[in-house]
């Protein structure tokens, strides 16, 4: 007897999702985003540990609202988008940590460096939009050290210290639509 699966495939709706980051610059924080990304979530609401996530971000789509800075970020000093065009994440394990919270462990590739990371994710629910499409919502926030991924460029300040911080906070707001 075959068992029914409750897994549904959801595709990230880029128009209703965002991938943003912030990093210390001198004495304040600079915020930016990636405007081109895609991903698939195989989500089993009854058995979330059986779910999986795959995300790909176009590194050249970085946008900090300053064209000259964005050009520098795309260069070999930072993302080197000609050599490393994508940032990717592929889940390997999902563990429930609360009623609607999960630790999603997986492989993250940035700037040609592959690391196993754990991303805390909150499931926001499933709703039906006015056109009858099922949508699922997720959010996450994680901090990484850019130097762990070979993003080493910095400038020393005359007053001591460096222009850029090493820690980068990444926030994801994801709305995905059922296929």
Q: Once rounded to an integer, what is the mean pLDDT over residues 136-162?
A: 88
Burial of 55 by CB count in 10 Å (0-12 exposed, 13-18 middle, 19+ buried)?
A: buried
Q: What distance in Å separates the CA atoms of residue 67 and residue 117, rounded to the nearest whole number?
A: 31
Q: What is the pTM of this model?
A: 0.90
**Using one digit for the tens of pLDDT, what is the confidence trace for 81-125?**
999 999 999 999 999 999 999 999 999 999 999 999 999 999 999
Residue 174, number of CB atoms within 10 A of its CB: 24
Q: What distance in Å separates the CA atoms of residue 165 and residue 118, rounded to the nearest whole number?
A: 22
Burial readout 98-107 (b: 16 or more C-beta within 10 A, e: otherwise): eeeebebebe
Residue 5 pLDDT class (50, 70, 90 cuts)? low
Burial of 151 by CB count in 10 Å (0-12 exposed, 13-18 middle, 19+ buried)?
A: buried
Given a cut of 70, is residue 3 above it in pLDDT? no
149, HSE (Cβ side, Cα atoms, 13 Å)? 25
> Which domains are assigned to the chain?
7-178 (2.40.128.110)
Contact 119, 106 (CB under 8 A): yes
**Using one digit for the tens of pLDDT, what is the confidence trace for 25-52?**
877 789 999 999 999 999 998 899 999 9
């Amino acid at each position: 007897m075959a068992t029914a699966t409750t897994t549904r495939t959801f595709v990230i709706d880029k128009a209703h999702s965002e991938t943003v980051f912030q990093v210390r610059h001198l004495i304040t924080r600079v915020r930016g985003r990636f405007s081109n990304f895609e991903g698939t979530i195989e989500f089993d609401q009854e058995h979330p540990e059986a779910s999986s996530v795959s995300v790909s971000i176009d590194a050249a789509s970085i946008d900090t609202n300053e064209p000259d800075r964005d050009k520098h970020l795309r260069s070999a000093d930072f993302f080197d988008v000609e050599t490393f065009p994508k940032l990717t994440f592929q889940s390997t394990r999902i563990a429930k940590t609360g009623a609607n919270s999960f630790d999603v462990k997986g492989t993250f590739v940035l700037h040609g460096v592959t690391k196993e990371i754990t991303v805390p994710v909150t499931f926001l629910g499933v709703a039906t939009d006015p056109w009858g499409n099922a949508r699922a919502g997720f959010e996450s926030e994680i901090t990484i050290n850019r130097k762990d991924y070979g993003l080493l460029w910095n400038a020393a300040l005359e007053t001591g210290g460096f222009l850029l911080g090493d820690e980068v906070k990444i926030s994801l707001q994801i709305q995905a639509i059922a296929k």
